[in-house]
Structure formats: structure tokens, C-alpha cells
Amino acid sequence: MKLGFLTACLPGDDLADIARWAADQGFEALEVAGWPSPDDRNHIRVDTFDQAEQERVGRIFAETGLALSSIAYYENNLHPQAGEQVNAHLRRCVDAAAALGCPTVGTFVGRDPGLSVRDNLDRAARVFPPLVAYARDRGVEIVIENCVMKSWHPDGYPGNLAYSPELWEWMFTLGLKLNYDPSHLVALGIDPVAAAMPYVSEIAHVQAKDTEILPGTINRFGFYGPISGEKGWYRFRVPGLGQIDWRMVIGALREGGYDGVVSVEHEDHVHSGSTERVQTGLGIAYGTLRHLVRG
């Protein structure tokens, strides 16, 4: 396995600077943000990808010796208005990944909040197979993160229909792979180790984020969380500052045969606000995971 991180936590920084810092710290890979402009999470400029951009990105990875593990574009592919635009950009991400020799592109299933879960699954069964075929024809796998995305639903219900093993089994039938993130399972009351073990062969990428349970808060809000805009009963942290037993998680992945990249997804607000604070958080994650990933 190799240890890397998702560049979206450093939206204002240049990819060359991020890559040099990552290599100097001992990271071995980057999962690179590829949202379209004007979103500043576009360290690979997928929407204007051309020969010059291919050469720029390729040179950065060649000079630093890092692996490009995935192009990240996590949006709602079932959005009732923007879905076609999202899918078109996803194809551009696939084209860029193929040109750069990158094995995966990461996204969400999403949902239309105006439809039932069953109707959303039926719609996804029409939307995703052509995307999967497009990617595989170019040597790329589409990987889906198991994030809940409650903010995409007006009542806080799951906005990304890929949050549980039941839904993983369904999306595997469409040819999608899993970008496994244990932090979201903790927040659903699911044991991340027990959940992952039967499906390691379908995991094509891993994101490492931790979950801190805030003492006493669940007694006020309940499992589904607040409706008032208050902070909920958990928050995301960098690995090592939450509840997850990373020794068990990495051990389960290794036992199941996973030998890909473990990519830190930094969404820790304690270690945010500047490049230096984010780098401090990434350093904590590196110290937590390094010996486990390379062991």
C-alpha cells in the first residue's frame, strides 16, 4: 500500500507546491481535485485539459516520484437539473485520467431528493452503466465514496445512495467500485471493519478520515442529528484524533488483499484555515498511518 492525500484540502495552493511538500514529508501519492472552474478545487484543470495540461501534470508527478491515485470530482450525478452537466464533466475526468495513466476517478452516486430511494436506484441503473463502460474502455475505474451527503436532501436524509453495504452490493452490479471511507460508517453506527471485510475485492481506492464522537450530544439530537443548524453529535478529524482503530482497518484491508493507495481526506476544521494548519493536520495523519500502511 501507499500513503497519500486528497488535494482538495489545499484549494488555493498550486499542484506543484503541494506535490513537492507531499514528497518531502514522505507521502507517496496524491488524489488530485478536478472540479471545474470557477471552483478552486481544480488542481488538475479537467475542463480545459489539453496537451499542455497533460505535460504540466505529468512533469509534476515525474519530478516528485509521487503516484497519481485518482482524480476527485465528488458531485451529484443524479441531480434533477445539473445531472447531465455533472456526468459530462465526469467523462472529462475520465479522459484526463486515461491520458495521465491514473487508474481511478472518484465521484458520488447522489440522488434526486424529489424521488423515492427506489426510483433513484432505477434512475441510477440507467445513468451509470454507460459511464462505467466509457471509463473502462479507457482503462479507468469509477469509484464511489460512501459519504452520506445529508446536506443534499432538504430534510437531512442521505443524499448519496452509496452509504451502506446494502447499497454497495447494488452499485457493484452496475460496475462501480468503492472508494472506502470508514469515517462515514462510524457516523451511521456501522462497524467499519466488519462492513469492509466482505468487499475488499471491490475496493479500488481508500480514503482515510476519522470521526470524533462529541460526548453527550447524541442525547439532545438523537442518531439523525440536529434540525436547528446546531453542531451535531460527531465531527470529522484527521486520522488519529477520532474513534477509528486504524490498526484494525488497515489490517482488514491488507488481509483482504488491498494493495492500493490510502488517501487522507482532510476535513478537520481544527486544523484548517491556512496552508500551514492544514499541513499540520496532514502531518498528524501521516504519523498515525505511515507505519500501518507500510508495515
What the block records as the C-alpha cell of 5 is 492525500
Which pLDDT does position 229 carry in this prediction? 65
Residue 42 DSSP symbol:
B
- For residue 144, the cross-strand partners are 107, 178
- pLDDT < 70: residue spans in the chain: 228-230
- Phi/psi region, residue 8 (left: phi>0; alpha: psi -120 to 50; beta: rest), is alpha
Which pLDDT does position 253 carry in this prediction? 98
Which pLDDT does position 129 carry in this prediction? 98
Q: Give the residue carrying C-alpha cell 472518484.
A: 106
CA-CA distances (angstroms) from residue 45 to 118, 152, 155, 264?
Answer: 35, 25, 34, 21
What the block records as the C-alpha cell of 229 is 443548524
Please tell me the distance from the alpha carbon of residue 110 to that of residue 280, in angstroms, as a whole number: 32
Compute how many other C-beta atoms are within 10 angstroms of the C-beta atom of residue 113. 16
* Contact predicate 66/117, CB 8 Å: no
What the block records as the C-alpha cell of 59 is 512533469
Residue 260 DSSP symbol:
S
* Contact predicate 198/165, CB 8 Å: yes
Domains recognised in the chain with CATH numbers: 2-293 (3.20.20.150)
Residue 31 CB-half CA count within 13 A: 30
Compute how many other C-beta atoms are within 10 angstroms of the C-beta atom of residue 20. 15
Which pLDDT does position 156 carry in this prediction? 84
Which pLDDT does position 224 carry in this prediction? 80
Which pLDDT does position 222 carry in this prediction? 84
Q: Parallel, antiparallel, or unpaired for β 29-33 and 67-72?
A: parallel
